[in-house]
């Protein structure tokens, strides 16, 4: 078994230390030692963080005078394990981030992750002093009454949202948020947390209903300037776009009158096949449907759906596939859930039945203990690498970004 894996931990001031004499345990649904080939040196853009009120678990027991450390991965990587720790009474809820196992090897921080996609568009971004602000102000001034433009300017500035910034950078995939309401109540929703959740949502959900003209003007502007550009309804700052399928269909029609290039995509929870059909009739070309599980109980425990079930989501996936759209699943992955043998069997059953072009393995941003409490710990975890191999064995592309081809 591995011996050169050492403990990376924090003191109460969140300063980071290494202790190569201690080997930290990992949590893959069951607590275990990490496999050496599950580790990679921490890539550029990794953010290490303290886990307040939590003590790291090692092969020799709980480190009661040290705080556990986790890492947040940059885009393009899939998490394989979460850190193992013991929570102290009164410890605060962890904010919505993708906590990844981290340790030290040869005096260098390593993480349990795999590179699963590459795209120039998703590399970490750095703007000069006032550079982004100037870009936003100039564009908003060119279309001052466009409420969607003001929204994506805010998302670019305050949340660092890449697809919102792309509207102003005129590159890649551009954001078109459209819906203030949602028909799910995900326990890890990033745009709206319930008052009694005990933690803030990372983003503020839009509060108004954008109109087709505003949406279309942004889409047309983008496609005029980005030949193989993507415009995407369904963003982190909104609820469920299918609740506004009439407005989406209208804006697609307006865009397609003006521009025939690029891709019109929809990110959705797939809850309403009928509404999706309306968007497809209007010219939708690609869809990315989000789910955390292919099993009804685990899906319902996380999404807490209102008026629909996982069967409706499967019906939307089938519809989009049969209508010839480019179909991606946005699989919200979590070690110990995504790689449980039962979960993989349910996934394989769907992939055998419906053509899917890509599964985006998105690291689910949530307090691991909170998630396991909601969906349950695994019976037989096979490991995240095995889960990704199973997807590839079904001839389905694994990735993290919506590509134009
Ligand atoms: S489907 Fe999206 S917007 Fe709706 S609750 Fe879930 S994460 Fe939030």
Structure tokens at 348: 């394989």
* Residue 141 three-state SS: helix
Q: How far apart are CA 260 and CA 340, in angstroms?
A: 43
**pLDDT score, position 3:** 64
**pLDDT score, position 202:** 85
Q: What residues have CB less than 8 Å from 213, skipping those under 6 apart?
A: 251, 254
Q: How far apart are CA 246 and CA 323, in angstroms?
A: 19
Q: What is the CATH number of domain 120-399?
A: 3.20.20.70
DSSP state of 53: T
Structure tokens at 379: 């019976």
Residue carrying structure tokens 């096949």: 273
Angle at 247 between CA 243 and CA 248, to 5 degrees: 80
What residue spans define the domains of the chain?
A: 7-115, 120-399
Residues of the chain under the 50 pLDDT cut: 1-2
Q: What is the pLDDT of residues 172-193, one digit of tens each?
A: 999 999 999 999 999 999 888 8
Query: Rounded to the nearest whole angstrom, what is the distance from the C-alpha of residue 183 to the centroid of ligand 1?
Result: 8
Beta-carbon count within 10 A of 285 CB: 16
163, 232 contact by CB (below 8 A): yes
**Bridge-based pairing state of the strands 39-41 and 108-115:** antiparallel
Any atom of ligand 1 within 6 Å of the Cβ of 332 = no
**pLDDT score, position 121:** 80
Any atom of ligand 1 within 6 Å of the Cβ of 268 = no
Q: What is the pTM of this model?
A: 0.95
| Pocket mutation for ligand 1, best pick of 179, 183, 189 (most atoms within 8 Å of C-beta) | 189
């Amino acid at each position: 078994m591995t011996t050169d894996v050492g403990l990376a931990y924090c003191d109460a001031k969140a300063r980071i230390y290494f202790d190569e004499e201690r080997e930290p345990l990992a949590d893959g649904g069951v607590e275990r030692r990490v496999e050496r080939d599950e580790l990679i040196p921490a890539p550029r853009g990794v953010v290490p963080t303290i886990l307040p009120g939590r003590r790291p678990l090692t092969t020799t027991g709980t480190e009661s005078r040290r705080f556990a450390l986790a890492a947040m991965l940059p885009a393009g990587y899939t998490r394989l394990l979460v850190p193992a720790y013991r929570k102290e009474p009164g410890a605060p809820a962890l904010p919505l981030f993708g906590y990844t196992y981290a340790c030290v090897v040869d005096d260098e921080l390593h993480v349990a992750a795999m590179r699963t996609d590459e795209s120039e568009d998703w590399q970490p971004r750095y703007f000069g002093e006032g550079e982004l602000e100037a870009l936003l102000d100039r564009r908003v001034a060119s279309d001052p009454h466009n409420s969607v433009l003001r929204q994506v300017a805010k998302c670019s500035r305050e949340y660092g949202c890449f697809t919102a910034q792309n509207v102003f950078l005129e590159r890649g995939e551009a954001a078109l948020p459209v819906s203030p309401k949602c028909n799910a109540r995900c326990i890890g929703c990033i745009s709206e947390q319930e008052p009694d959740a005990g933690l803030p949502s990372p983003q503020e959900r839009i509060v108004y209903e954008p109109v087709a003209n505003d949406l279309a003007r942004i889409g047309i502007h983008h496609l005029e300037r980005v030949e193989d550009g993507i415009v995407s309804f369904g963003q982190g700052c909104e609820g469920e776009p299918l609740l506004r399928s009439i407005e989406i269909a209208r804006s697609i029609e307006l865009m397609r009158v003006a521009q025939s290039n690029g891709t019109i995509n929809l990110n959705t929870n797939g809850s309403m096949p009928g509404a999706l059909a309306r968007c497809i009739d209007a010219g939708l070309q690609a869809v990315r449907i989000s789910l955390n599980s292919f099993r009804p109980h685990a899906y319902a425990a996380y999404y807490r759906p209102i008026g629909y079930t996982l069967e409706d989501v499967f019906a939307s996936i089938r519809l989009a596939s049969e209508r010839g759209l480019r179909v991606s699943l946005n699989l919200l992955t979590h070690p110990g859930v995504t790689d449980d043998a039962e979960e993989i069997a349910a996934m394989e059953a769907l992939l055998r039945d419906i053509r899917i072009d890509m599964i985006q393995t998105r690291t689910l941003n949530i307090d691991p203990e909170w998630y396991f409490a909601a969906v349950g710990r695994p019976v037989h975890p096979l490991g995240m690498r095995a889960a990704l191999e199973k997807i590839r064995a079904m001839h389905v592309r694994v990735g993290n970004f919506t590509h134009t081809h």
